[in-house]
Structure 1
Amino acid sequence: MTAMADTAALVRLMTWLSPAFPVGAFSYSGGLEQAVADGDVQDASTLRAWLASLLAHGALWNDAVLLAEAHGAAGDAARLAAVTELAEALSGSAERHRETMLQGGAFLTAAASWPHPVLALLGEAAAYPVAVGAVSAGHGVGAEAALAAYLHAVASNLVSVAIRCGVIGQKDGVAVLAGLEALILALADAAARSTPDDLGTSAIRADIASLRHETLPTRLFRS
């Protein structure tokens, strides 16, 4: 791939995972709003610990493995269909299912501005990490780059959630992201070499927060 093609792929990746891309990520907290209400996340330190757990041991690790599998399956209709079904089945709650499927569908709709045969293989609905992984592969974005960008984008959105919940300010938000940088890079490297056998989580408190958020009386976010 030429330097110009590399740059074009990078720009597309930045566009797809920017806050301006119409996937509605701003409206979801992945259970973080419930964690704030419960007092589990109170400041920058507890937010960083919460996000680190999600990345290394929670739903975001599974997302990374699914993204990597979708990236490798982009040219294989049967394999891509299998990971698409698996990703939807792994949604641990109604809100988590709605979050990943609606964002994935919105991503595919918007990504149609960059036509590619992989979009026909995915159809109109796919979990968010599967959509990002397959489309990234189709446009020549490397797996590790796609993974790092995806994990950073999700972490950035959750930091924004914490800011809107009044837990931290913008300065602390930047510091939290800086503190997660090494972990994100390490997990992107690990996930790029993963297989579906590496799926699994142990962030039980985060999973429970996602479930309990369905009945949180006053909510800013859809999950």
Structure 2
Amino acid sequence: MLMTTNEPPRASDAMTGAEAAALYRLMTFLSPAFPVGAFSYSSGIEWAVEASDITDAASLRDWLSAMLVDGSGFCDAVFVAQAHRAMNLDDMAALRELAELAAAFVPSRERQLEATTQGKAFIEITRAAWNCNGLDDAVAQCDTLIYPIAVGLVSAAHGIPLASALHAFLHALVSNWISAGSRLIPLGQTDSQRVLAALEGVVAVTAARALDASLDDLGSATFRADLAGLQHETQYTRLFRS
């Protein structure tokens, strides 16, 4: 039986104008519809499927869990957090050094292409449609802006809370990985959603770790995933650019 209530809405339930604007922009910036070309990249998953490291929903889930907890997912989230904080502190020197470090952290040529191309597209589209005070000056400080750095500084410039930005960034990242896996294995829509549901807790834990982490905590232990990114460069038949 459907239960209804006649209680009037409480004022505390409503968002402020600033909160609503921040949420709207966060959903826009990290939506699959935001045109950064993420669908073109698999982060090495294409080679992992060909090598039979990933064969079904369970092995895809395990691979992505490792990438989130011990690989590029965690490292990228740390870069998002550090860029967000540098932007909030108006520390352009720190932001410039952070952008250089993040670019150096990418382990292969194709992953470098993936990170820099998406970062450039993210910044260009944001400045064209969603520009705001301070964004142009921050971008001018950085020679190279890979995707997580771009997300961090844009989120801060638009007043998006760091914890929310981190969670949404990791959700978008793992959703794109699952999309690549679903086309390569292939998986149906239901199995793809099961993988996404199974990774909900992993995303939350990774976001929480990144929120508390420093640059000294950066590091990857997913050698097989890094190898997949390198091997993909010479893979004969390819659907993806990485």
* TM exceeding 0.5: yes
Q: Verify the 8 A CA contact 1:160 1:173 in the aligned structure 2.
A: yes
TM-score (norm. length: structure 2): 0.89
Task: Mark the structure with the bigger radius of gyration.
Answer: 2
Residue 42 of structure 1: aligned partner = 55
Residue 115 of structure 1: aligned partner = 131
Is 1:76 aligned to residue 91 of structure 2? yes
Q: Verify the 8 A CA contact 1:104 1:129 in the aligned structure 2.
A: yes
Residue 76 of structure 2: aligned partner = 63
Residue 3 of structure 2: aligned partner = none
Residue 115 of structure 2: aligned partner = 100
**Runs of 4+ residues over 4 Å off in structure 1:** none
TM-score (norm. length: structure 1): 0.97
Residue 13 of structure 1: aligned partner = 26
Q: Verify the 8 A CA contact 1:80 1:122 in the aligned structure 2.
A: no
Aligned length: 222
Residue 217 of structure 1: aligned partner = 236
Greater shift in the superposed pair: 122-131 or 206-215: 122-131
Q: By how many angstroms is 1:169 displaced?
A: 1.1
Percent identical across equivalent pairs? 47
Residue 145 of structure 1: aligned partner = 164
Q: Verify the 8 A CA contact 1:108 1:119 in the aligned structure 2.
A: no
Can you give the 5+ residue segments of structure 2 that lack an aligned partner in the other structure? Answer: 1-14
Q: By how many angstroms is 1:151 displaced?
A: 0.6
After superposition, the C-alpha distances for 1:102-148 in whole angstroms (9 at most, x for unaligned) are 10000000111222213331237401000000110111111111111
Q: Verify the 8 A CA contact 1:34 1:213 in the aligned structure 2.
A: yes
Residue 184 of structure 1: aligned partner = 203
Amino acid at match of 2:131: P
- Distance (whole Å) between structure 1 residues aligned to residue 161 and residue 202 of structure 2: 19
- Distance (whole Å) between structure 2 residues aligned to residue 86 and residue 135 of structure 1: 18
Can you give the 5+ residue segments of structure 1 that lack an aligned partner in the other structure? Answer: none
Q: Verify the 8 A CA contact 1:44 1:167 in the aligned structure 2.
A: no
Q: Verify the 8 A CA contact 1:136 1:142 in the aligned structure 2.
A: yes
- Distance (whole Å) between structure 1 residues aligned to residue 130 and residue 137 of structure 2: 12
- Distance (whole Å) between structure 2 residues aligned to residue 205 and residue 23 of structure 1: 26
Give the 3-state SS of the residue equivalent to 2:95 in structure 1.
helix
- Distance (whole Å) between structure 2 residues aligned to residue 137 and residue 194 of structure 1: 18
- Distance (whole Å) between structure 2 residues aligned to residue 167 and residue 63 of structure 1: 27
- Distance (whole Å) between structure 2 residues aligned to residue 45 and residue 4 of structure 1: 42
- Distance (whole Å) between structure 2 residues aligned to residue 157 and residue 119 of structure 1: 28
Give the 3-state SS of the residue equivalent to 1:73 in structure 2.
helix
After superposition, the C-alpha distances for 1:27-84 in whole angstroms (9 at most, x for unaligned) are 0000000000000000010000000000000111110111110010112110100110
